[in-house]
Structure 1
Amino acid sequence: MGSNSCSSSSSSSSSKPRKLKFTLIPCLCLLFLFLNVPTTTAAFLRNPFRKPEILYSQHCNDVVPEPHLSSGNVLFSLFDDFLRFEFAFFSGGIGIFNPTAESGISLSFDPSYIQTTASHGVHKFKATLYIRDPLKYSVSRWWHLGSIKFWEEDSAFYVNGYWSESSGKLCMVGSGKNYSKVVLKLNYSKNNTIYGSLIDGTLESLHMENDYNYFEPIVIMGLSQNPNYQYQLVDNVSCFSGERGGRDKNNININLSLSKLDRGVCFIFDVRTSVYELEYWSDCGSVNCNPLGGSIGYLPNWIAFRGVRCDQHSRKVQMLMGFPNPSTGMEFEFPGPNATLIAEGAWDEKDNQFCGVACRILANASVGDCSIGLSLRFPAVLSLRNWRSTVGEIWSKKDVNDSEYFGRIGFQSWERPFDPQGLRYEYTEIEEVRNSCALGEETIRGKGKSYPDGFSLDMGFDMLVRNTEGKVASGFLRPQFVGDVPYVQQDELKSNQSRMLNMSYRIGFTPPPDFRFGTDAIYKFVRISAEGMYDRDTGLLCMIGCRHLDFQLNDQNSIKNGSLDCETRIKVQFPPLHAKQAVIAKGAIESRRSKSDPLYFESLQLSSNSITTTQAKESIWKMKLEITMVVICCGGLIFGVLFRGRCILPKRFRDSTYYWE
């Protein structure tokens, strides 16, 4: 009788040890095989060269007829970049994806093997189509935009097929997760300009509808990565748009030049999504305000930019401009193609701003009308009332009587995607702060104590804001400038600080639905830009703030009102650095208006939601010391080193287990 290599040859023995040995070894063998099944399966699934389980000719011959392969001539990179895409809109796929949850999915197509065939201009391809699993990522909406990602949770389809240069058509068959059989069909344009930027196609399941592996067809609209792309719309582009156009003579000399921007224009418009808040300047009652037209069903609050390609030498960029639905609260996720524009732009060195032209994306995966202008600039001087770090606008080039015309729309952001050189802050309210807060007069309170310096990490914190009804909102208080130096440059001028420091801040908090103050208006987000003085000897910060009154009603004809309430005062008392007990920063946001004024609001109390970094470090040091004492005491117990007296442990660790005579 043949012996199994995984079993013992001494099975005839009846002794207990031999019986255990005989039973254990086969089990270990089975366990080894079991543990290796996922690895083997994963390797098999990830092998793009394995033979498809379905016939190409049965599903693709009507698209690209299957040719005979020629001998050799394997091409590894000639058409890789042309066929590859890293961004794609798509819809469908119920059966793979949760039909009730619209999720942030990314789709990408990655060719890995190319071979010539006997048919001229027809090439054999092997590739992988990646689709991120929506159940493991953030919620988005029905159409999706993503970048190439290689996650273990991705749904990967390994496909083989042929592409025709003359027709631009690609057809592939293969399988994916759980060996689901699929056919992929894509259409590539031979146009190398923006009008040939879109790829359309489908991914279809070849299973019956009642089969476990079946899913509904996925409709794909990808963005071409054609390496031969030619910019067509920006050679003579101008930011001049009329009333508030980019070439405003008052602004030409106060924009940051490209040389001041970290890593150039391509870094500004890289593959990350940058989001800016829209500000409607026109009267929506007389002209259309919606850049997407009336069919979209909502008035956008945000505009999102995402770079598709960039030429650092020519400083030209191709990008997407999306207008997320404000009701979803997902401004960082791109909407579908009906709420997205595709654009080209270039840096204008004369006026130090970015100028571009945007086009509409049509449902048939083609680029439509290109009559939308855009500009974007970075002010070199910030102040209390001119707080925007990034400023831009979009406008329609159509006639005002055209149905697709819309009024000029501005956009801006508090944040910058970089830390430019030459950025300055202009203080305008320091004397008012000095008179309002009487800073520098209180010296007894801070005697013998030390407080954070202006560049300390403790000068900014996440906070809780409480109104007079006891309702609590969460937010932040962040320094922007310490004197003339941006707060992020923390190592500069630390040793040369005076007692009184000029500082500017950005303050924001998100009230819950039942949080009200001032008028009956409900704010989704409260923003305050502030500037003032900080007394290092007492830890007191006092500032004048401008509250941004961005009211927006649900009425489609309403507009944003970008006015400011600069009659706001903010006081913050920072705790001493080496306080014996944990102390947090506390303060108040107050209105300086009379109670009869419509913009008056009751005082809001603010407090840090964490201790200072100094207190945290000291607490960690004390904890380490206590743990060391515990280790010493327990070590003595373990090794029998008993003391004649007690081993005194820190109070928090005193327990009968460790406390002995």
Structure 2
Amino acid sequence: MDRSILFSRTSLLVIFFFFFCFEVVRGTTTEFGYGHYCDSVVHESEAVDEEFKVSPFPRRQNGYYRGGGNLLNRSSDQYYHPPASKVLVFETHHVYTTGVKDVFKVEGNLIFESSDYYEQSFSNRRGYYYSYWSELSARGALEFDFHGFWSRATGKLCMVGSGYTFTKEGKLLHLAAVLKLNDVTDSSDIYTIITGTMDSLYHANEPNYFDPISVLMFPLGSYKYTKVSTQFSQGCPGGTDFPKKSSLSLTRTRPVCDMFSVRGKAFELEYAMGCDSSKSCSPLGDGARYSPRFMYLSMIQCSDDMQSIRFLIEFPDDSTYMRYSSSSNFSTSLIGEGSWDAKQNRLCVVACRIEDASSSSLEKSHVGDCTTRLGLRFPAVLSIRNTSTLTGEIWSEKLRNESGFFNRIVFRDTDRNQGQIQLQGLKYEYMETDNVKKSCPKKIINGNSSRQYPLGYSTDMAFSMSIKGPKGSIGWGSSSPLAVGDQPYQMFPFLIPSSSSRPKSSDVDSDAGVSLLNISYKMRIELSSSNLDAALGPFNQSSNGYLEIQISAEGVYDAEIGHLCMIGCRHLRLHNKSTEDCKILVNVQFPPLNSDRKGSKIKGSIESTRDKSDHLHFEPLEFTGRAYYKSWAVESIWRMDFEMIMSVISNTLAIVFVVLQIFHVRRHPGVCPSVSLLMLVILALGHLVPLVLNLEAMFDQDSERSVWVRSGTWLEMNEVVIRAVTMVAFLLHFRLLMLSWTARCSEEKNKALWIAEKRGLYVCFPVYIAGGLIIGTARQQHSTSYIEKTILGCSRAYAGLILDSFLFPQIVFNMFLSSKEPALSRFFYIGITLVRLIPHGYDLYRVHNYVDMPDSYIYADPTADYYSTAWDFIIPMVGLFFAATVYLQQRFGGRCFLPKRFRESVVYEELPVDSEEQFPLKSSS
């Protein structure tokens, strides 16, 4: 009765709280009516029918905003610096016709986020936003629900709405705002920009108040490409005319829109000579404070025929570019529209300046001067001096003496875009063939000729590097082929070798020529600016204390010996000038495919061939890289399948052995109390802990490991089978524990058993604690994070070590009990010992035959036990010694391995006498 009353009162309290919150929210939304704030813009009218296709209101419209600093820029991250303009998304939910002609009722929501990360995540799918709500909220995401009216005649939209956020103290804060937008029209062109304001409906002295927000959007509905249709009918007037064959053409299946479908592309600008002192250099005009080094091109919209594009063209400063994200600073941005010129195989773009986009407001922004032109093309031939797959130029249509004129600027895509654009017909031309012949003579094979090395066409040729200089480790880098033979290197699909891929040289015999292959690389290196060679410093881009060096190289790869020798060109840049140092020799030695996986490393060097007196000469740089061959990865996938089978077999054998032990104690009831309870607890926990730690794998199919897909089967499905078997093993071990516990508690004369168990605890626990402290201290010396790696990681591995020595408590228990009882079945303690020791033998085999792939281990997981050459020898020896000790104890007595005088000792235990039936207990061997 009391429970029912309590339940009823709790239900009433919940219902009351729900209606209270509902009334608070409803009161907030209705407190500020539409008419008072918006009737002067668009009169309120009664909705009639819902319209589903109203061109100014697409389902989702991206935009930008400024202001609202006290509400939207409250990130707690001290390293987070929001850009000048932030992104927003306007979602249209419903549009209704009204009783007034050309007046529509609009309902939707406006979502703010102070980082372009939000725009990327939100553009994928609606569910993505919900899954990241907690993270976005912490970074400033805010949503308002709006309703209002739009006039087709005036292009004005006025809406009133509300939202909520949380204060720094965690209190709920209700917000109310009015949104006013201009130039919301049925059709738009390059000059059309939707601007407006959003103001708080609370007074400035109230905590709900926020600073005014200005809004800018590039409309997506019914856009007309007016500039490119009229001016570019005859190509790109004013652009440099390249031979048509020097640029790649596009096909219907690969239109120009697909080439820019990636969120944004970064380009490096190369200015003409003499631009250091000239005022006509910057594409931002005469009043620009700097000459930008980079240009950022992001697609806004693509036409229905996939041949015309709208772009936002930004010129961020160097620090903004280093984040490789758009700055959205419209005072240094252009809005453009382009069309593909199939006659000359290039993209022609008309760009217009965005005027009056002040640092404080976007409300008065408008499109102004449209005399800027861009031309982009995809070069048909790459070389060591031209490794860009997308190049172009930007120029001004103005006369030289006019204000705003600037000299023609060439731009090339950066390494960040590499691999995004790959077209059919792209070729590579080798320019350093003679120098390669002189610097890279054919090496003679020494030693084992049966070694196999990766093919030049495989994905094994790409690698990362750890750079060492004369004073030790100074940086890292990455290296990937640009071309193999005369074909561009592609990850997928693999290229088919062509006849032109092999170097044609009369100096190479036919047998050797089979293994030689022309190859070109792009190398990107970051070196610490401290203790760096002076010849490397002044010409490279500095960022966060590191210097970035880009090297393009070409040479010959010998697949017989796995040796790569190349001539490299280091790209130098100083004061917006670009030059090259092509006096560099690069040597790389790949490990054999059939080599030891553990110690296989890629080794190489980068050295200057200039005289030491030359100011561009630098000391040799050596590097190493870990080899991850595709064949090794395939073997590792097979290994994972094999480990799944081994894990199932291992747990199944554990089930069989524990069942045999259960049969053993049922057949000999008198031995059941003589089984160490601590040993059974350890064995039960050994199966329970993995189940608890990995419980989400049985239910959550979206975990990070779900990326492993083989033959259409999720890895988690196989893990479910493993955990099901583990669950059965745990239940049987727990059953054995209960049998022993019950038998011991039911024994009338069980004091000696409990005394022996207690003394075993006094011995085992200090040993376990001391061992954990010793190993933890040793691990701490090599750990960068004590809490994460030493405590958590070492604890799990140490628990595996305790499980490996599960017989230790039984040995101690037998010693104190001095019993000859065959408490354990031979099948049980020998079988479980082998189950625990076989993984260490397998690890010795695995480490020398499979590549190390973290988070891919299912059987003999290195994080769940101690696995190394030393441990894989010590643990099996100790395990077999413990099994032999139990065998001797059960045959000759618990103290058989002790000296004779200890073996025959008699122990008297004085116990407190509660009744006349209790007497001092005497136990003897």
> In 1, are the aligned partners of 2:600 and 2:626 still within 8 Å (CA)?
no
Work out which of the residue numbers 639, 642, 646 in structure 1 matches 2:828. 642
**d(CA) in 2 for partners of 1:26, 1:455:** 73
Q: Could you tell me which residue of structure 2 aligns to residue 114 of structure 1?
A: 95
> In 2, are the aligned partners of 1:88 and 1:223 still within 8 Å (CA)?
no
**d(CA) in 1 for partners of 2:402, 2:218:** 30
Moved more, 640-649 or 361-370: 640-649
Structure 1 residue 537 corresponds to structure 2 residue 513: no
SS class of match (2:601): coil
SS class of match (1:605): strand
Unaligned runs of at least 5 residues, structure 2: 134-140, 166-173, 357-363, 503-513, 542-547, 662-826, 841-865, 884-925
- CA displacement at 1:316 relative to structure 2: 2.0
Structure 1 residue 97 corresponds to structure 2 residue 73: yes
SS class of match (1:480): strand
Q: Could you tell me which residue of structure 2 aligns to residue 584 of structure 1?
A: 601
- The one-letter code matched in structure 2 to 1:419 is Q
Structure 1 residue 56 corresponds to structure 2 residue 34: yes
Structure 1 residue 594 corresponds to structure 2 residue 585: no
**d(CA) in 2 for partners of 1:445, 1:30:** 86
Structure 1 residue 477 corresponds to structure 2 residue 479: yes
SS class of match (2:436): helix
- CA displacement at 1:174 relative to structure 2: 1.0
- CA displacement at 1:479 relative to structure 2: 0.9
Moved more, 157-166 or 636-645: 636-645
- CA displacement at 1:276 relative to structure 2: 1.0
- CA displacement at 1:228 relative to structure 2: 4.5
> In 1, are the aligned partners of 2:378 and 2:389 still within 8 Å (CA)?
yes
**d(CA) in 1 for partners of 2:54, 2:372:** 36
Moved more, 395-404 or 100-109: 100-109
Residues 196-220 of structure 1: CA deviation (Å, up to 9, x unaligned) = 3211111222233344433211111
- CA displacement at 1:531 relative to structure 2: 1.0
- The one-letter code matched in structure 1 to 2:159 is M
> In 2, are the aligned partners of 1:53 and 1:174 still within 8 Å (CA)?
no
Residue 41 to residue 527, structure 1, CA distance change in 2 (3 Å): farther
- The one-letter code matched in structure 1 to 2:241 is R
SS class of match (1:565): strand
Moved more, 353-362 or 451-460: 451-460
- The one-letter code matched in structure 2 to 1:383 is S
**d(CA) in 2 for partners of 1:145, 1:297:** 34
> In 2, are the aligned partners of 1:91 and 1:220 still within 8 Å (CA)?
no
Moved more, 480-489 or 155-164: 480-489
Q: Could you tell me which residue of structure 1 aligns to residue 433 of structure 2?
A: 430
Q: Could you tell me which residue of structure 2 aligns to residue 467 of structure 1?
A: 469
SS class of match (1:346): strand
Residue 543 to residue 195, structure 1, CA distance change in 2 (3 Å): closer
> In 2, are the aligned partners of 1:168 and 1:187 still within 8 Å (CA)?
yes
Residues 430-453 of structure 1: CA deviation (Å, up to 9, x unaligned) = 3432331212x3222451211111
- CA displacement at 1:77 relative to structure 2: 1.7
Structure 1 residue 265 corresponds to structure 2 residue 256: yes
Q: Could you tell me which residue of structure 2 aligns to residue 246 of structure 1?
A: 240
Q: Could you tell me which residue of structure 1 aligns to residue 216 of structure 2?
A: 221
Structure 1 residue 274 corresponds to structure 2 residue 275: no
Residue 586 to residue 239, structure 1, CA distance change in 2 (3 Å): farther
**d(CA) in 1 for partners of 2:262, 2:296:** 12
SS class of match (1:59): helix
> In 2, are the aligned partners of 1:578 and 1:614 still within 8 Å (CA)?
no
1:8-47 → structure 2 map (5 Å cutoff): 10-11=1-2
> In 1, are the aligned partners of 2:235 and 2:343 still within 8 Å (CA)?
no
Q: Could you tell me which residue of structure 2 aligns to residue 381 of structure 1?
A: 381
- TM-score, length of structure 2 as denominator length: 0.61
Which of the two has higher C-alpha Rg?
2
Work out which of the residue numbers 277, 292, 295 in structure 2 matches 1:300. 292
Q: Could you tell me which residue of structure 2 aligns to residue 75 of structure 1?
A: 51
> In 2, are the aligned partners of 1:325 and 1:335 still within 8 Å (CA)?
no
- TM-score, length of structure 1 as denominator length: 0.83
SS class of match (1:387): coil
> In 1, are the aligned partners of 2:200 and 2:211 still within 8 Å (CA)?
yes
1:106-505 → structure 2 map (5 Å cutoff): 106-132=87-113, 134=115, 150=126, 151-152=129-130, 153=133, 154-178=141-165, 179-188=174-183, 190=185, 192-237=187-232, 245-248=239-242, 251-259=243-251, 263-270=254-261, 272-284=263-275, 285-313=277-305, 315-328=307-320, 329-363=322-356, 364-413=364-413, 414=415, 415=418, 417-439=420-442, 441-445=443-447, 447-488=449-490, 489-493=492-496, 498-505=514-521
Moved more, 92-101 or 469-478: 92-101
Residue 196 to residue 240, structure 1, CA distance change in 2 (3 Å): closer
Aligned-residue CA RMSD (Å): 3.7
Unaligned runs of at least 5 residues, structure 1: 1-9, 12-20, 553-559
SS class of match (2:61): coil
Residues 581-634 of structure 1: CA deviation (Å, up to 9, x unaligned) = 331111011111111112111111122156545455656766864756764665
> In 2, are the aligned partners of 1:291 and 1:406 still within 8 Å (CA)?
yes
Higher relative contact order (CA 8 A, sep 6+): 1
Q: Could you tell me which residue of structure 1 aligns to residue 766 of structure 2?
A: none
Residues 338-387 of structure 1: CA deviation (Å, up to 9, x unaligned) = 01101121111221111121110012221011111110000011111222
Structure 1 residue 604 corresponds to structure 2 residue 621: yes
> In 2, are the aligned partners of 1:265 and 1:312 still within 8 Å (CA)?
no
Residue 490 to residue 317, structure 1, CA distance change in 2 (3 Å): closer
> In 2, are the aligned partners of 1:540 and 1:572 still within 8 Å (CA)?
yes
Residues 317-348 of structure 1: CA deviation (Å, up to 9, x unaligned) = 22111111212323322331101101121111
Residue 26 to residue 566, structure 1, CA distance change in 2 (3 Å): farther
SS class of match (2:481): strand
Q: Could you tell me which residue of structure 2 aligns to residue 85 of structure 1?
A: 61
SS class of match (1:586): strand
**d(CA) in 1 for partners of 2:493, 2:225:** 43
SS class of match (1:434): helix
Moved more, 338-347 or 464-473: 464-473
> In 1, are the aligned partners of 2:465 and 2:478 still within 8 Å (CA)?
yes
Residues 562-587 of structure 1: CA deviation (Å, up to 9, x unaligned) = 21111111111111113223311110
Q: Could you tell me which residue of structure 2 aligns to residue 16 of structure 1?
A: none
- The one-letter code matched in structure 2 to 1:509 is I
SS class of match (2:36): helix
Q: Could you tell me which residue of structure 2 aligns to residue 7 of structure 1?
A: none
- CA displacement at 1:650 relative to structure 2: 3.4
Residue 630 to residue 298, structure 1, CA distance change in 2 (3 Å): farther
Kindly, what percent of the aligned residue pairs are identical? 32
- The one-letter code matched in structure 1 to 2:332 is A
> In 1, are the aligned partners of 2:177 and 2:198 still within 8 Å (CA)?
yes
Q: Could you tell me which residue of structure 2 aligns to residue 4 of structure 1?
A: none
**d(CA) in 2 for partners of 1:493, 1:459:** 15
Moved more, 284-293 or 515-524: 515-524
SS class of match (1:235): helix
More strand by share: 1
**d(CA) in 1 for partners of 2:434, 2:628:** 32
Residues 377-406 of structure 1: CA deviation (Å, up to 9, x unaligned) = 000111112222111010112222223111
Residue 31 to residue 535, structure 1, CA distance change in 2 (3 Å): farther
Structure 1 residue 563 corresponds to structure 2 residue 752: no
Moved more, 354-363 or 617-626: 617-626
- CA displacement at 1:91 relative to structure 2: 3.8
**d(CA) in 2 for partners of 1:327, 1:298:** 13
**d(CA) in 2 for partners of 1:116, 1:530:** 65
Residue 338 to residue 600, structure 1, CA distance change in 2 (3 Å): same
